[in-house]
Amino acid sequence: MITTVVYEDVREAAACVRRGGVCAFPTETVFGLAVDAYDRRATARLFEAKGRPSDNPLIVHLADKAAWHTVARAMTTSAERLLDAFSPGPITVVLPKLGRIADAVTGGLDTVGVRIPANVRAREFLAHIDRPVAAPSANLSGKPSCTTWQAVLEDMDGRIDGILVGEPSSIGLESTVVDCTGDEPILLRRGSVSLEQLREVVPNMQVLSTSQTGAETSVNSPGLRHPHYRPEARVVLVSAIENGERVDLESVVGEPLAAKIVFLGMHRPSELSGFGYCQVFGTVDGFAAGFYEALRQADRENAACIVIESVQDASVGAALHDRQCRAAGLR
């Protein structure tokens, strides 16, 4: 067991990383778990703390785009355009890796994901560290990501050296990841920067299809092969409903309704008696921002099943729908 220090002061949290520590920090997408990307030992401790499979590469975070050459061998045209348009912000571009970045950081790949967060506290933290920072989402591997520092403490207390406190993440879903190493950029993971927005900047953007074979997926984005965002409770997806519509819970859940059921969606079903409770979000953005915390809250309340109303929407809804499907084990 390690003692996990809760830091209010950005400089103290940065010093923790500079001396080889593992320290959580807030970003606008989800909280991250920071280590010095040049430090092999710290990187190994990070994988251990998260219980993360070693073939799942980490994103390297920078305070400033100008520092890209400290992590990558080359800047490609598509990456440059995407960073100019959406960075600092919720986008990660995959570039050819610089040798100095530990192989363990990138799961042995010759490429590296690079992101410059927009969150002010995150940027101060990165600026004080003054080195590239490898950081996955700050949850135990396989669990929903953390959008509050308290959620990080639940998963990571005694496993990491520190947590920098900060406001809850405003977006609530991980960054959009784009492979920019080839002739045509490929969208690897959906995020709040939508495919439509990406194509306005880079029209030849391709999409890594979820129906592609395991072998292809593993080459492009190893992280997508592992289970993700899974709460303890069973998750069932239902299609979109109208306000006041009756949802036949017994057939949806497939078991007698004595157990506690939580409904998460954008509309209120009529039949609330069988639910433990029902959480209705007013907007897709609000649903995205509150989604992981809602999954975690259902677990805190020992819900047996979480019924989720599917969201289908062109923008952030597409990313939210992807996470809903993964939480339900459908991808």
Minimum separation from the CB atom of position 174 to Mg ion (A): 6
Burial track 93-117 (b if 16+ CB lie within 10 A, e otherwise): bbbebbeebbebbbbebebbbbbbb
Strand partners, 32: 25, 137
- Reference 237, options 318, 330, 302; nearest CA is 330
153 within 8 A of 3, measured Cβ to Cβ: no
Q: Among 42, 93, 135, 307, which residue interacts with ligand TXA (rule: CB under 6 A)?
A: 135
Residues shown for the chain: 331
φ/ψ of residue 23, rounded to 5: -135, 125
Cα–Cα distance for residue pair 160/109, rounded to 1 Å: 25
Among the listed residues 3, 328, 28, the one whose alpha carbon sits nearest the alpha carbon of residue 171: 28
Q: Which single residue is written with the structure tokens 């061998």? A: 73
Q: Considering only residues 132, 166, 185, 223, which one is a binding residue for ligand TXA as defined by CB under 6 A?
A: 223
Q: Which among ligand TXA, Mg ion, none contacts residue 237 (Cβ within 5 to 8 A by kind)?
A: none
* Interacting residues with ligand TXA between 174 and 193 (CB under 6 A): 174-175, 177, 188-189
Give the tokens for residue 127.
């600026």
27 touches Mg ion (CB under 5 A)? no
Question: How many residues of this chain interact with ligand TXA, rule: CB under 6 A?
Answer: 28
Q: Which of 29, 43, 119, 137 binds Mg ion (CB under 5 A)?
A: 137
Using CB under 6 A, pick the residue from 21, 24, 29, 132 that binds ligand TXA. 29
Q: How far is the CB of 110 from Mg ion (least distance, A)?
A: 22
Instruction: Name the segment binding ligand TXA (CB under 6 A); options: 11-19, 35-43, 152-160, 169-177.
Output: 169-177
**Greatest Cα pair distance in the chain:** 59
CB atoms within 10 A of CB 180: 27
Residue 58 interacting partner from ligand TXA, Mg ion, none (CB closer than 5 to 8 Å by kind): ligand TXA
32 binds ligand TXA (CB under 6 A): yes
Question: Using CB distances below 5 to 8 A depending on partner kind, what does residue 62 bind out of Mg ion, ligand TXA, none?
Answer: none
List binders of ligand TXA among 74-93 (CB under 6 A): 92
**How many C-beta atoms lie closer than 10 Å to residue 118's C-beta?**
18
The residues binding ligand TXA (CB under 6 A) are 27, 29-30, 32, 56-59, 92, 94, 106, 109, 111-113, 115, 135-137, 174-175, 177, 188-189, 221-224
The residues binding Mg ion (CB under 5 A) are 137
